Amino acid sequence: MRLVILDNYDLASEWAAKYICNRIIQFKPGQDRYFTLGLPTGSTPLGCYKKLIEYHKNGDLSFKYVKTFNMDEYVGLPRNHPESYHSYMWNNFFKHIDIDPNNAHILDGNAADLEAECDAFEKKIKEAGGIDLFVGGIGPDGHIAFNEPGSSLVSRTRLKTLAMDTILANAKYFDGDLSKVPTMALTVGVGTVMDAREVRIKCSLMFPL
Protein backbone atom coordinates (compact mmCIF):
# COMPACT_ATOMS: atom_id res chain seq x y z
CA MET A 1 0.00 0.00 0.00
CA ARG A 2 1.19 3.51 -0.85
CA LEU A 3 0.12 6.59 1.12
CA VAL A 4 0.33 10.02 -0.54
CA ILE A 5 -0.29 13.11 1.61
CA LEU A 6 -0.87 16.45 -0.12
CA ASP A 7 -1.53 19.92 1.26
CA ASN A 8 -4.96 20.60 -0.19
CA TYR A 9 -7.88 19.38 -2.27
CA ASP A 10 -6.67 20.89 -5.55
CA LEU A 11 -3.26 19.24 -5.31
CA ALA A 12 -4.85 15.92 -4.40
CA SER A 13 -7.27 16.18 -7.32
CA GLU A 14 -4.47 16.96 -9.76
CA TRP A 15 -2.33 14.10 -8.44
CA ALA A 16 -5.24 11.68 -8.78
CA ALA A 17 -6.06 12.82 -12.32
CA LYS A 18 -2.43 12.56 -13.43
CA TYR A 19 -2.23 9.07 -11.95
CA ILE A 20 -5.35 7.90 -13.80
CA CYS A 21 -4.16 9.55 -17.01
CA ASN A 22 -0.75 7.89 -16.80
CA ARG A 23 -2.23 4.49 -16.03
CA ILE A 24 -4.49 4.68 -19.11
CA ILE A 25 -1.70 5.88 -21.39
CA GLN A 26 0.78 3.27 -20.14
CA PHE A 27 -1.82 0.55 -20.66
CA LYS A 28 -2.00 1.47 -24.37
CA PRO A 29 -5.71 0.63 -24.80
CA GLY A 30 -7.05 -0.25 -28.23
CA GLN A 31 -9.95 -1.84 -30.06
CA ASP A 32 -9.15 -5.27 -28.63
CA ARG A 33 -7.68 -4.04 -25.34
CA TYR A 34 -9.88 -1.81 -23.19
CA PHE A 35 -8.78 -0.18 -19.95
CA THR A 36 -11.45 -0.76 -17.30
CA LEU A 37 -12.00 1.94 -14.70
CA GLY A 38 -14.18 1.89 -11.57
CA LEU A 39 -15.53 5.35 -10.70
CA PRO A 40 -17.11 7.14 -7.71
CA THR A 41 -19.49 10.07 -7.31
CA GLY A 42 -19.88 12.73 -4.63
CA SER A 43 -17.97 15.93 -3.98
CA THR A 44 -14.51 14.36 -3.60
CA PRO A 45 -13.87 13.31 -7.24
CA LEU A 46 -15.17 16.48 -8.91
CA GLY A 47 -11.74 18.14 -9.02
CA CYS A 48 -10.23 14.98 -10.45
CA TYR A 49 -12.90 14.76 -13.16
CA LYS A 50 -12.33 18.40 -14.11
CA LYS A 51 -8.62 17.72 -14.57
CA LEU A 52 -9.28 14.58 -16.64
CA ILE A 53 -11.62 16.60 -18.87
CA GLU A 54 -8.86 19.19 -19.24
CA TYR A 55 -6.34 16.51 -20.27
CA HIS A 56 -8.82 15.17 -22.82
CA LYS A 57 -9.58 18.59 -24.33
CA ASN A 58 -5.86 19.31 -24.56
CA GLY A 59 -5.44 16.14 -26.61
CA ASP A 60 -3.41 14.34 -23.94
CA LEU A 61 -5.95 11.64 -23.06
CA SER A 62 -8.63 9.64 -24.86
CA PHE A 63 -11.38 7.51 -23.34
CA LYS A 64 -12.32 5.89 -26.65
CA TYR A 65 -11.04 2.52 -25.48
CA VAL A 66 -11.97 2.85 -21.80
CA LYS A 67 -14.84 1.06 -20.06
CA THR A 68 -16.18 2.44 -16.79
CA PHE A 69 -18.21 0.93 -13.97
CA ASN A 70 -19.70 3.24 -11.37
CA MET A 71 -19.78 2.25 -7.74
CA ASP A 72 -23.42 2.85 -6.93
CA GLU A 73 -26.81 4.40 -7.65
CA TYR A 74 -29.81 5.38 -5.55
CA VAL A 75 -32.88 3.16 -5.65
CA GLY A 76 -36.11 4.77 -6.85
CA LEU A 77 -34.62 8.10 -7.92
CA PRO A 78 -35.50 8.88 -11.57
CA ARG A 79 -32.49 8.61 -13.87
CA ASN A 80 -32.95 12.23 -15.00
CA HIS A 81 -33.17 13.55 -11.43
CA PRO A 82 -30.34 16.08 -10.91
CA GLU A 83 -29.04 14.09 -7.93
CA SER A 84 -29.08 10.66 -9.56
CA TYR A 85 -25.63 9.30 -10.20
CA HIS A 86 -26.53 8.91 -13.88
CA SER A 87 -27.04 12.69 -14.03
CA TYR A 88 -23.94 13.33 -11.94
CA MET A 89 -21.66 11.28 -14.17
CA TRP A 90 -22.99 12.60 -17.48
CA ASN A 91 -23.08 16.24 -16.38
CA ASN A 92 -19.73 16.25 -14.61
CA PHE A 93 -17.70 13.87 -16.74
CA PHE A 94 -18.99 11.64 -19.53
CA LYS A 95 -20.52 14.28 -21.82
CA HIS A 96 -17.21 16.17 -21.81
CA ILE A 97 -15.03 13.27 -23.01
CA ASP A 98 -14.99 10.84 -25.94
CA ILE A 99 -16.20 7.73 -24.13
CA ASP A 100 -18.67 5.49 -25.97
CA PRO A 101 -21.94 5.68 -23.96
CA ASN A 102 -22.23 1.88 -24.29
CA ASN A 103 -18.99 1.56 -22.34
CA ALA A 104 -20.14 3.70 -19.39
CA HIS A 105 -21.91 1.36 -16.97
CA ILE A 106 -24.06 2.64 -14.11
CA LEU A 107 -26.41 0.54 -12.00
CA ASP A 108 -30.13 1.02 -12.67
CA GLY A 109 -31.85 1.88 -9.40
CA ASN A 110 -35.23 1.64 -11.11
CA ALA A 111 -34.81 -1.87 -12.52
CA ALA A 112 -37.86 -4.12 -12.17
CA ASP A 113 -35.65 -6.79 -10.56
CA LEU A 114 -32.93 -5.15 -8.47
CA GLU A 115 -31.23 -8.42 -7.57
CA ALA A 116 -31.00 -9.36 -11.24
CA GLU A 117 -29.61 -5.89 -12.00
CA CYS A 118 -26.84 -6.42 -9.45
CA ASP A 119 -26.02 -9.88 -10.80
CA ALA A 120 -25.91 -8.51 -14.35
CA PHE A 121 -23.52 -5.74 -13.25
CA GLU A 122 -21.12 -8.29 -11.77
CA LYS A 123 -21.35 -10.29 -14.99
CA LYS A 124 -20.53 -7.22 -17.11
CA ILE A 125 -17.44 -6.53 -14.98
CA LYS A 126 -16.31 -10.12 -15.43
CA GLU A 127 -16.94 -10.01 -19.19
CA ALA A 128 -14.86 -6.82 -19.37
CA GLY A 129 -11.94 -8.72 -17.85
CA GLY A 130 -12.26 -7.19 -14.38
CA ILE A 131 -11.45 -3.69 -13.17
CA ASP A 132 -7.93 -2.42 -13.88
CA LEU A 133 -8.20 0.57 -11.54
CA PHE A 134 -10.97 1.21 -9.04
CA VAL A 135 -11.11 4.81 -7.83
CA GLY A 136 -13.07 5.55 -4.67
CA GLY A 137 -13.63 7.88 -1.78
CA ILE A 138 -14.37 7.39 1.91
CA GLY A 139 -17.65 8.52 3.45
CA PRO A 140 -17.95 10.28 6.82
CA ASP A 141 -18.47 6.98 8.64
CA GLY A 142 -15.72 5.20 6.68
CA HIS A 143 -17.93 3.60 4.03
CA ILE A 144 -16.67 2.87 0.52
CA ALA A 145 -19.36 3.14 -2.15
CA PHE A 146 -22.50 2.39 -0.09
CA ASN A 147 -20.85 -0.39 1.89
CA GLU A 148 -21.72 0.77 5.39
CA PRO A 149 -19.50 -0.18 8.37
CA GLY A 150 -19.80 -3.90 9.06
CA SER A 151 -20.26 -4.88 5.40
CA SER A 152 -18.72 -8.21 4.49
CA LEU A 153 -15.26 -8.09 2.95
CA VAL A 154 -16.41 -10.60 0.33
CA SER A 155 -19.70 -8.84 -0.50
CA ARG A 156 -20.72 -8.43 -4.13
CA THR A 157 -22.92 -5.86 -5.91
CA ARG A 158 -26.21 -5.72 -4.02
CA LEU A 159 -29.08 -3.70 -2.55
CA LYS A 160 -28.23 -1.83 0.65
CA THR A 161 -30.24 0.18 3.17
CA LEU A 162 -28.36 3.39 3.92
CA ALA A 163 -27.25 4.22 7.45
CA MET A 164 -28.66 7.37 9.03
CA ASP A 165 -25.18 8.96 9.03
CA THR A 166 -25.05 8.52 5.26
CA ILE A 167 -28.56 9.90 4.78
CA LEU A 168 -27.69 12.93 6.93
CA ALA A 169 -24.48 13.50 4.96
CA ASN A 170 -26.32 13.29 1.63
CA ALA A 171 -29.12 15.64 2.71
CA LYS A 172 -27.01 18.61 1.54
CA TYR A 173 -27.64 17.45 -2.04
CA PHE A 174 -31.42 17.45 -1.44
CA ASP A 175 -31.92 20.95 -0.04
CA GLY A 176 -31.27 19.64 3.47
CA ASP A 177 -34.61 17.80 3.40
CA LEU A 178 -34.15 14.30 4.84
CA SER A 179 -37.51 13.21 3.42
CA LYS A 180 -36.11 13.66 -0.10
CA VAL A 181 -32.99 11.56 0.44
CA PRO A 182 -33.26 7.97 -0.87
CA THR A 183 -32.88 5.40 1.88
CA MET A 184 -31.70 2.53 -0.32
CA ALA A 185 -29.09 2.12 -3.02
CA LEU A 186 -27.46 -0.41 -5.28
CA THR A 187 -23.73 -0.68 -4.64
CA VAL A 188 -20.73 -2.71 -5.63
CA GLY A 189 -19.55 -4.86 -2.76
CA VAL A 190 -16.28 -4.67 -0.87
CA GLY A 191 -15.27 -7.90 -2.60
CA THR A 192 -16.07 -6.36 -5.98
CA VAL A 193 -13.76 -3.43 -5.25
CA MET A 194 -10.99 -5.63 -3.85
CA ASP A 195 -11.05 -7.84 -6.94
CA ALA A 196 -9.72 -4.90 -8.96
CA ARG A 197 -6.09 -5.11 -10.00
CA GLU A 198 -5.53 -1.76 -8.31
CA VAL A 199 -7.57 0.38 -5.91
CA ARG A 200 -6.96 4.07 -5.25
CA ILE A 201 -8.84 5.76 -2.42
CA LYS A 202 -8.93 9.52 -1.97
CA CYS A 203 -10.06 11.21 1.22
CA SER A 204 -9.98 14.77 2.51
CA LEU A 205 -9.16 15.27 6.17
CA MET A 206 -9.07 18.49 8.14
CA PHE A 207 -7.50 18.71 11.58
CA PRO A 208 -7.80 21.62 14.03
CA LEU A 209 -4.62 23.61 14.65
Residues with catalytic function: 72, 141, 143, 148
- CB within 8 Å of 200: residues ≥ 6 apart: 16, 19, 20, 133, 134, 135, 136
DSSP symbol at 147: B
Does residue 21 contact residue 60 with C-beta atoms inside 8 Å? yes
| Class of residue 99 by CB neighbours under 10 A (exposed 0-12, middle 13-18, buried 19+) | buried
- Helix (H/G/I), strand (E/B), else coil: 26: helix
Helices 46-57, 9-27: axis angle to 10 degrees equals 50
Q: List, in sequence order, every residue forming a beta bridge with 39; answer none if it has no partner.
A: 70
Report d(CA 164, CA 44) in Å as an integer: 20
Residue 61: name the closest of 29, 88, 15, 31 by CA. 29
